[in-house]
Amino acid sequence: MLLSGNEAIALGAFEAGVKVASAYPGTPSTEILESLSRFSGVYTEWAPNEKVAVEVCLGASFAGARTLAAMKHVGLNVAADPLFTSAYTGVRGGFVIVTADDPEMHSSQNEQDNRNYAFAAKIPMLEPADSFEAKEFTRRAFEISEAFDTPVLIRTTTRVSHVKGVVTPGELMDLKVEPGIVKDPDKFVMLPVNARKRRAALEDRLARLREFAETFPENVIEPGRGKRGFITSGVSYLHVKEAFPDAPVLKLGMIYPFPEKLIRSFAEKMEEIFIVEELDPFIELHVKAMGVPCRGKEVIPAYGEIDARVVRQAVTGIAEEPAFAPVEVPARPPNLCPGCPHRGLFFALSRLDVFVAGDIGCYTLAFFKPLETMDSCVCMGASIGNAFGMEKAIGKDALGKVVAVIGDSTFIHSGITGLIDIVYNRGFSTVIILDNRTTAMTGQQENPVTGQTLSGEKTVEVDLPALCRAVGVEHVYRINPNDIEKTYQLLKREVERPEPSVVITEYPCVLLPVEKQKKKPVHLVILEKCTGCRTCLKLGCPAIEWVPVTEEEAVRLGMRPNQKGYARINPVLCDGCGQCAPLCKFQAIVIEEEGGSEGER
């Protein structure tokens, strides 16, 4: 069967007998849990954040279940606290953590290389090169986890996560650990007196893992012709094979710990060694630390994705043209969707002279023209802390000049503590929570605010206004952001309030299936009333088009001779949000049933 790397990991986990899986959605890892949730007998959940996901899986492992946590690369930063200590406690049931790196930053705020986490946390890491290996390595990871009493990291990158390949389903694996409560405080309670003992045990485990890596069948030398050899791993291996199909290659399936004897054995037979890897010189540094001469980042790019052409060009020094020239496509700048409720909020904010501390979500697109209403964006949950920090730096002069904007799912992920900080430390920042009833950016996943679980079951719905009041915010407001004027007036008042306040904008994402099925009014422009003032274009709605006209055309259409054009609403794109109509002071934008005809669009 053809599966993506993410789907293959889910199949491998199912075949390995995983019982509990937890994740926070994040590209390129999201489909792992979505795929795994379709298998019977596996408990799957969206956790509020990656730290909770790891903690849930570690607890289930303590109870003897095989468990899997999945996240994108930056998610492992959030989970780093339990991750490092889990290396000390070890496991009972096999515990596998998938970290999906994003070279080239297709959908991320940075492109960190999470192989460094394996080294820093002293946890073994496997790195599959394709979908077939993604499934097989997942099965092996659970075996290694239980055999060595350790969590195991699996690192994928965007290409492995999303590209499909042939995968062969396998037999269900036998479980070796009996589920149940087993009290073992010396192992699971990390008081210093116990942690010091476990630290020594950790070193002993690493020594055994290094020996294991020497004979691990996925660390393999592929003989070839010539004396130029390559050491590589993951998707970089495929690029090397495409660029130099006959060259000798040492392919590392276990990227940490390193099989030093195997590396030396390979290098001794070569006259020249190239280390081919994306992002950091992770293998290169360790190979050089062994005293093995090699070349790596002085020729292979240290950032972004690589491909066979890049590898071939880097090694030979001969410049090559790309095999496929970029296809000319019409320019289409990044933009919020037609009908997106966030557009109303950001348009209202654009009328205020405030610094907008933003957060991670599709609303970050408000950074682009014409809205240009996003002044900072650091990481999940950072907007509230950023705004409060500016407030503290500037003092009372910050009143009315700074707001924080954060999505509903992101607020639950890691924004709550920032809001508590504002209240506890007597700040006055205004926090705007964009509640669109989903985790939109990663593909409409459920979260604790939506009232549904990953499997679609009804559940308790977090009451955002009550939650904000519970942490001490006295001024909490809910508003429909499609009503731009009311939203503007509310924000104008609240940013001047010398106390903390929260404004919750409530309107569903237009891409939710239930929203797409709704029959909504289509708006159109009455040509005779349009003066070409362009005010409606300031919304940046993709449904509103500008039609330029010549002087002759303007006269023929009944316009002023010097009118340069008119606005037109594309009925296919119009979502009926109605944000545009009140902006037109000439009442040229109306609902289709209220006036106008097909020819007037």
Task: Say which residues have a Cβ less than 8 Å from residue 128's Cβ, sequence separation at least 6.
Answer: 5, 134, 136, 137, 154, 156, 160, 234, 253
Q: What angle do CA 460, 462, 467 make, to 5 degrees?
A: 140
Mean pLDDT, rounded, for 3-24? 98
Q: Distance (Å, rounded) from C-alpha 214 to C-alpha 223?
A: 17
Could you tell me the pLDDT band of residue 333, with boundaries at 50, 70 and 90?
confident
Q: Examine the pLDDT at 344 and tell me if it is beyond 70.
A: yes
Tell me the pLDDT tens digit for each residue of 497-517. 999 999 999 999 999 999 999
Could you tell me the pLDDT band of residue 331, with boundaries at 50, 70 and 90?
confident
Cβ atoms 388, 418 nearer than 8 A: yes
Could you tell me the pLDDT band of residue 597, with boundaries at 50, 70 and 90?
very low
Q: Examine the pLDDT at 599 and tell me if it is beyond 70.
A: no
Tell me the pLDDT tens digit for each residue of 458-508. 999 999 999 999 999 999 999 999 999 999 999 999 999 999 999 999 999
| Per-residue pLDDT, 320 | 87
> Within 10 Å of residue 595's Cβ, how many Cβ atoms?
12
The tokens of 183 are what? Answer: 């009290």
Could you tell me the pLDDT band of residue 321, with boundaries at 50, 70 and 90?
confident
| Per-residue pLDDT, 245 | 97
| Per-residue pLDDT, 595 | 52
Q: What is the side-by-side order of every strand in the sheet holding 220-222? A: 220-222, 249-252, 228-233, 272-276
- Secondary structure (H, E, C), 299-353: CCCCCCCCCHHHHHHHHHCCCCCCCCCCCCCCCCCCCCCCCCHHHHHHHHHHCCC
| Per-residue pLDDT, 107 | 86
Backbone φ and ψ of 44, nearest 5°? -125, 150
Q: Examine the pLDDT at 162 and tell me if it is beyond 80.
A: yes
Q: Examine the pLDDT at 594 and tell me if it is beyond 60.
A: no
Cβ atoms 102, 137 nearer than 8 A: no
Could you tell me the pLDDT band of residue 601, with boundaries at 50, 70 and 90?
very low
Tell me the pLDDT tens digit for each residue of 346-362. 999 999 999 999 999 99
The predicted model scores a pTM of 0.92
Cβ atoms 78, 380 nearer than 8 A: yes
Mean pLDDT, rounded, for 548-571? 94
Tell me the pLDDT tens digit for each residue of 218-264. 999 999 999 999 999 999 999 999 999 999 999 999 999 999 999 99
Q: Terminal CA-to-CA distance of the chain, rounded, Å?
A: 49
Average pLDDT score over the chain: 95
Mean pLDDT, rounded, for 188-205? 95
The tokens of 281 are what? Answer: 């010189």
333 residue type, one letter: P
